[in-house]
């Protein structure tokens, strides 16, 4: 039908424009947050763009759901405002007849959201956790940054190098503070370089001094040296000791149906079910009220989206703590939202009007004066 074709084209234009705006906003916010985490030493500064890409990819199910909701709501609201829906209603069709063209447009997006939620989202989180873990397990030499105090992986040493030579593993004005086996030592040198001896890395210091003190003893040992070698820890190549549930594949979660795993599955399934419900909610609530202006529907859209996804997060925590069962939560939230949307859609389709009975005032009797 020509009308169905035109509405799908308009939905595609609105969806594309909304997607570009939201992705730009999310990328900007993610970049600021990732730069802050890199500055605190959570990520490698060189991996900021990669981390940002994985983070935006993990947020795509939510972004696509919101874009689909706004696209349907904006297009239908415009049709009401321009009286195009009057022609549609005049041809003997109602609001429920729009369900078919809307879902004919939305089904590829819903399929992408489902694939992202169950397949791509855990993969992106897993890559982020791998990069975070690899950066935390880097060796002492990799941790050293010129002009900054850096702690070793085991927390026993603190390094400081004033400046280094690019392209070479050498530096000037080296400072090392170490606490190990009830001994505290401070070593400083004018220069230092990294050497590999029998597969082990050593930091060779030249022209410096070393101060050593044993705990609970007043003695302090001071020694000057021309060359001093200190073994440094290599990169830890071991696998991650802990894998969060959000970084596990859906198949792994289903094989071990604990409360934590079922809570994560409820979140992933909720992303797909929420997107379906948003199409019906947008159809049921679309309209124009001249008294409240054009931004009323947009404000409602943001409010409904925030409330729905906050309930998703709250329900995930309930399932995780065992307060609510997995199936009960899905049926109560998503089934309840769908039932309310369909009830409201049926009410508008049939033009039902709910009126309350008002008390009828008693007739007044005129007072007559009897002569």
Q: Could you tell me if 131 and 43 are in contact, meaning their C-beta atoms sit under 8 angstroms apart?
A: yes
Residues in a beta bridge with 214: 183
For 236-288, write each residue's pLDDT tens digit. Answer: 555 566 678 888 889 999 998 899 999 999 999 999 999 999 999 988 887 76
Specify the pLDDT at position 371.
39
Specify the pLDDT at position 19.
92
Q: Starting at the edge strand that comes first in sequence, how are the strands of the sheet with 170-180 ordered?
A: 150-151, 157-164, 170-180, 183-197, 200-214, 220-231
Specify the pLDDT at position 39.
74
In terms of phi and psi (left: phi > 0; alpha: psi -120 to 50; beta: otherwise), the region of 71 is alpha
Please state, in angstroms and rounded to a whole number, the distance separating the CA atoms of residues 288 and 78: 8
Sorted by where each begins, the domain ranges of the chain are 2-136+243-349, 140-231
Tens digit of each residue's pLDDT, the chain (371 residues): 556 677 888 889 999 999 999 999 999 998 898 888 877 767 777 788 898 889 999 999 999 999 999 899 888 888 777 776 777 666 666 777 788 888 889 999 999 999 999 999 999 988 888 888 777 766 555 566 666 666 666 667 777 777 655 545 667 777 778 777 778 888 888 877 777 766 666 777 788 888 888 777 777 788 787 887 776 655 555 556 667 888 888 999 999 889 999 999 999 999 999 999 999 998 888 776 666 666 676 777 788 888 999 999 999 999 999 899 999 999 999 999 999 988 988 887 776 766 655 555 555 554 544 43
Specify the pLDDT at position 223.
79
Specify the pLDDT at position 113.
95
Specify the pLDDT at position 370.
45
103 by Cβ neighbours in 10 Å (0-12 / 13-18 / 19+) ranks as middle
Q: Could you tell me if 87 and 293 are in contact, meaning their C-beta atoms sit under 8 angstroms apart?
A: no
* CA dist list (Å): 270 to 107, 240, 275: 16, 28, 8
Please state, in angstroms and rounded to a whole number, the distance separating the CA atoms of residues 109 and 133: 33
Please state, in angstroms and rounded to a whole number, the distance separating the CA atoms of residues 131 and 240: 11
* CA dist list (Å): 22 to 44, 116, 324: 27, 17, 33
Read off the tokens for 167: 């392209």
Please state, in angstroms and rounded to a whole number, the distance separating the CA atoms of residues 164 and 155: 23
Nearest CA to 248 out of 263, 237, 238 is that of 263
Classify each residue of 303-325 as buried b or exposed e, where b means 16 or more C-beta atoms within 10 Å of its C-beta. ebbeebbebbeebbebbbeeebe
In terms of phi and psi (left: phi > 0; alpha: psi -120 to 50; beta: otherwise), the region of 10 is alpha
Contacts of 320 (CB under 8 A, 6+ apart): 259, 260, 263
Specify the pLDDT at position 236.
55
Helix segments in the chain, DSSP class H: 2-39, 48-58, 60-81, 84-90, 99-115, 121-136, 140-143, 250-255, 259-285, 296-321, 326-330, 336-349
């Amino acid at each position: 039908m020509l009308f169905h074709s035109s509405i799908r084209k308009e939905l595609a234009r609105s969806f594309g424009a909304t997607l570009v705006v939201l992705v730009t906003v999310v990328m900007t916010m993610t970049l600021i947050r990732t730069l802050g985490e890199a500055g605190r030493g959570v990520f490698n500064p060189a991996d900021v763009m990669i981390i940002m890409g994985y983070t935006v990819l993990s947020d795509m199910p939510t972004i696509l759901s919101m874009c689909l909701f706004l696209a349907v709501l904006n297009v239908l609201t415009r049709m009401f405002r321009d009286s195009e829906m009057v022609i549609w209603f005049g041809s003997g069709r109602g609001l429920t007849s729009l369900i078919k063209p809307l879902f004919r447009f939305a089904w590829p997006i819903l399929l992408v959201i489902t694939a992202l939620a169950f397949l791509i989202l855990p993969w992106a989180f897993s890559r982020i956790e791998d990069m975070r873990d690899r950066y935390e397990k880097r060796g002492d030499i990799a941790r050293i940054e010129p002009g900054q105090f850096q702690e070793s992986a085991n927390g026993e040493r603190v390094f400081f190098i004033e400046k280094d030579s690019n392209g070479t593993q050498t530096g000037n004005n080296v400072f090392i503070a170490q606490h190990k086996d009830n001994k505290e030592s401070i070593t400083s040198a004018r220069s230092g370089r990294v050497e590999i001896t029998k597969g082990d890395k050593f930091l060779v210091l030249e022209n410096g001094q070393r101060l050593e003190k044993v705990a609970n003893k007043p003695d302090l040992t001071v020694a000057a040296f021309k060359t001093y070698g200190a073994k440094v820890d290599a990169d830890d190549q071991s696998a991650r000791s802990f894998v969060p549930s959000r970084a596990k594949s859906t198949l792994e979660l289903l094989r071990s149906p604990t409360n934590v795993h079922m809570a994560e599955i409820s979140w992933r399934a909720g992303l797909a079910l929420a997107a379906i419900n948003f199409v019906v909610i947008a159809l049921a609530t679309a309209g124009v009220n001249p008294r409240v202006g054009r931004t009323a529907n947009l404000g409602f859209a943001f409010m409904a989206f925030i409330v729905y996804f906050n309930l998703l997060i709250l329900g995930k925590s309930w399932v995780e703590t065992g307060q609510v069962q997995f199936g009960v939560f899905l049926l109560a939230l998503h089934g309840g939202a769908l039932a309310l949307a369909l009830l409201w859609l049926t009410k508008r389709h049939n033009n039902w009007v709910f009126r309350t009975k008002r008390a009828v005032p008693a007739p007044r009797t005129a007072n007559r004066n009897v002569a």
